[in-house]
Structure formats: structure tokens, C-alpha cells
């Protein structure tokens, strides 16, 4: 017979969108399996879900996180699940990211009518995305396209393809989590199309001191790489309005990090890439990110994009 402590449900707060519920459901299943305790989902409405304004107008990534964090601090739930790319880089007082599970596909994906790819879209085709980074990348790659600023969940965006849009660009991980990989007509390679820091990864946040509750779900390699990506963003003091892509990977003991800053119109870009052995430094993610950020700033990144740092 289990004791009362082990039979007490772990309450996980989540946004109410189909994607958030799918992501949190995956976390809940893993947590139930590892902890042996029941897990229940607590749905929380956020400003980012309610508003139709652009992310830049709303104030960036934090619009999806603040209501969840308030609920966690108020004791309405025991943990919350975020898409890591939506989470501000600054730590929140009283809360800790206790687990970052294994990352899913970090790539962006094109979902176009009639099986079209980015190169075969006709001149003047209408492509929807609400991301300043993706907009800059589209302008750099295909300046002839008409870019449409869109909001809404994945199904809403996909529903516009073939109606008033020729294509949309979405995160491959989100499409996979919703079982919508069949809508993809082209995966956009990381080398030529770097994605948002942390894209494809989830973050599980708890009240500081309660990390053990979910720490079994943490994936060490994923944490190394996404912390490197997000540290570049933090050092540059860049939010979601800055067109920045960053991707890291670990291979044979080496941590590789590459970041790219675009001008909003896509006509200019700067790239920096560095690597180091994980065993050579105490904090490899911070070390490699500092090298990359310093090089970007020394090369004039602050003249291209809205950055706040002068490292």
C-alpha cells in the first residue's frame, strides 16, 4: 500500500493550447512513470493566448510565461512546462528550471500549398510567420516574397495555407508533437537557417528548493546546448524582437555553438561560431556563449538588430 505522500498528485500547470497540452502531457506521462505518483494538468490562461497582437507588440516571450509563473508561486500547481524558446533568459525570483528533457527537432519547417519548397514558391507568394527572425531570414533568402505577420495556434496557421497564404513557417518540433508532420513540404537546415535559442526543447520550472520533484527528467546534453544558445541571447540582451538564431551541439566531447544576427530587412547578417571541450572549462556553456557574443558585438551586431548589450 502506497503512503499518502506518494499518492498525492503532482500538479503541472500548462497553457491551454493544443500544443501546450500535448507537450505537458508528454512530460506528465514521463513524470508519472519515473515518480510513481499520479500527475494532473492544471490549465492556465495567459495574455499571449488571449491577445491577437504581435509578439513584439505584446512585449515578447514573457507573455506566455508570466501567468504560469504566478500560478506556480501561488501554489496552484507544483511545476509548469514551457517551450524553452518562449522563456525569458533571466531567472525568475523564487523559481528554478529543474529539468530540460531531451530536445526534439530544432529545425524550422515550411508548410506550403501543392508541395512547394522555399525555392519553388512563385514570385510574390504570401508566406506567414510572426517571428522577426524568420521574417528576416525569408527576406534574405527570397526578397520577392510577401511576408504576412500572423498569430494563432498551429492548426489555425495551417488552415490558412491554400486560402489566403501560400505557405507558413513553423517549428518542426511543434508539428511533430501535434502529429502534423504530414503538412511539412520542406525542412529548413540548421546551417543555412539557424533557429531560435532553445527551439525544440521544453523547460520544467518549479519553486526553488523543490527541484528534486522533476529532476529525473533532466537531459544533461540538452541542457548544455540550450544553455549555450540562451546565454548568447542573454549577453546580447536580445528579446523576441531581435532577429537572432543560435544552435549548439555536443559531439565527441566538444561543444559547438553558432549564432547569427540579421538586420530586420534581411540584407545584412553576422555569424560567429566557436567550440571548446566540455572537460576544459568549469562552465562550458557560458564560456563558449561569451566568445560568440563578444565576437558578434565586436563585428557590429548592435548596428544590425535591437540589442541592449555592450559587452
> Residue 150's pLDDT is what?
92
Residue 73 structural domain: 4-101+201-218
pLDDT digits (tens, 9 = 90+) for 227-254: 999 999 999 986 666 799 999 999 999 9
Same domain, 15 and 92: yes
- CB of 14 closer than 8 Å to CB of 204: no
Does 194 score more than 60 pLDDT? yes
User: Is residue 56 one of the residues assigned to a domain?
Assistant: yes
Does 55 score more than 60 pLDDT? no
As a whole-number percent, the residues of the chain with pLDDT over 90 amount to 79
User: Is residue 310 one of the residues assigned to a domain?
Assistant: no
Q: Give me the CATH number covering residue 54.
A: 3.40.190.10
Same domain, 55 and 139: no
Tell me how long the chain is. 311
> Residue 2's pLDDT is what?
44
Q: What is the mean pLDDT of residues 164-168?
A: 97
Of the residues 49, 70, 78, 86, only one is catalytic, namely 86
Does 3 score more than 60 pLDDT? no
pLDDT digits (tens, 9 = 90+) for 19-53: 999 999 999 999 999 999 999 999 997 655 555 55
Does 308 score more than 90 pLDDT? no
User: Is residue 12 one of the residues assigned to a domain?
Assistant: yes
Same domain, 251 and 210: no
Task: Supply 136's cell numbers.
Answer: 528576416
> Residue 80's pLDDT is what?
96
Same domain, 71 and 206: yes
> Residue 240's pLDDT is what?
61
Same domain, 13 and 85: yes
Q: Give me the CATH number covering residue 259.
A: 3.30.160.40
Which residues are bridge partners to 235 per DSSP?
none
- CB of 175 closer than 8 Å to CB of 183: yes
> Residue 53's pLDDT is what?
55
Pick from 288, 293, 291: nearest CA to 305: 293
CA atoms of 245 and 263, how far apart (whole Å): 12
Does 59 score more than 90 pLDDT? no
User: Is residue 311 one of the residues assigned to a domain?
Assistant: no
> Annotated catalytic, 218?
no
Sheet architecture: strand order including 167-171: 146-148, 126-128, 167-171, 108-112, 186-188
Q: What is the mean pLDDT of residues 59-77?
A: 81
Same domain, 175 and 299: no
Same domain, 8 and 95: yes
- CB of 244 closer than 8 Å to CB of 258: no
Same domain, 37 and 57: yes
> Residue 63's pLDDT is what?
63
Pick from 212, 277, 291, 174: nearest CA to 35: 212
User: Is residue 297 one of the residues assigned to a domain?
Assistant: yes
Same domain, 112 and 248: no
User: Is residue 196 one of the residues assigned to a domain?
Assistant: no
- CB of 271 closer than 8 Å to CB of 258: yes
User: Is residue 127 one of the residues assigned to a domain?
Assistant: yes
Same domain, 210 and 66: yes
> Residue 88's pLDDT is what?
87
Q: What is the tally of structural domains in the chain? A: 3
Q: What is the mean pLDDT of residues 99-124?
A: 97
Same domain, 240 and 260: yes
Question: How far is Cα of residue 260 from the mean position of the Cα atoms in its chain?
Answer: 16
Percent helix, strand, coil in the chain, to 5, is 40, 25, 40
User: Is residue 269 one of the residues assigned to a domain?
Assistant: yes
Same domain, 113 and 245: no
Amino acid at each position: 500500500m502506497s503512503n499518502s505522500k506518494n499518492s498525492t498528485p503532482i500538479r503541472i500547470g500548462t497553457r491551454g493550447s493544443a500544443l501546450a497540452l500535448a507537450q505537458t502531457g508528454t512530460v506528465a506521462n514521463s513524470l508519472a512513470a519515473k515518480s510513481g505518483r499520479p500527475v494532473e494538468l492544471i490549465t492556465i490562461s495567459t495574455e499571449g493566448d488571449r491577445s491577437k497582437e504581435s509578439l513584439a507588440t505584446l512585449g515578447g516571450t514573457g507573455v506566455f510565461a508570466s501567468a504560469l509563473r504566478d500560478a506556480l508561486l501561488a501554489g496552484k500547481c507544483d511545476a509548469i512546462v514551457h517551450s524553452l524558446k518562449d522563456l525569458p533568459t533571466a531567472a525568475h525570483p523564487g523559481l528554478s528550471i529543474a529539468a530540460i528533457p531531451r530536445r526534439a527537432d530544432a529545425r524550422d519547417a515550411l508548410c506550403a500549398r501543392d508541395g512547394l519548397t522555399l525555392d519553388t514558391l512563385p514570385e510574390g507568394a504570401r508566406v506567414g510567420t510572426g517571428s522577426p527572425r524568420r521574417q528576416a531570414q525569408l527576406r534574405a533568402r527570397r526578397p520577392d516574397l510577401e511576408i504576412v505577420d500572423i498569430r494563432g495556434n498551429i492548426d489555425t496557421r495551417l488552415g490558412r495555407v491554400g486560402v489566403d497564404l501560400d505557405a507558413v513557417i513553423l517549428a518542426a518540433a511543434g508539428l511533430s508533437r501535434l502529429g502534423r508532420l504530414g503538412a511539412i513540404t520542406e525542412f529548413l537546415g540548421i546551417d543555412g537557417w539557424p533557429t531560435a535559442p532553445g527551439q525544440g526543447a521544453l523547460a520544467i520550472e518549479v519553486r526553488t528548493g523543490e527541484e528534486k520533484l522533476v529532476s529525473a527528467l533532466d537531459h544533461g546534453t540538452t541542457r548544455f546546448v540550450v544553455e549555450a544558445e540562451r546565454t548568447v541571447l542573454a549577453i546580447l540582451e536580445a528579446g523576441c524582437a531581435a532577429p537572432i538564431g543560435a544552435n549548439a551541439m555536443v559531439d565527441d566531447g566538444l561543444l559547438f555553438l553558432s549564432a547569427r544576427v540579421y538586420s530586420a530587412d534581411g540584407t545584412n547578417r553576422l555569424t560567429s561560431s566557436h567550440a571548446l571541450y566540455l572537460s576544459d572549462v568549469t562552465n562550458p556553456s557560458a564560456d563558449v556563449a561569451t566568445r560568440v557574443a563578444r565576437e558578434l558585438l565586436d563585428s557590429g551586431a548592435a548596428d544590425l538588430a535591437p540589442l541592449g548589450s555592450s559587452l
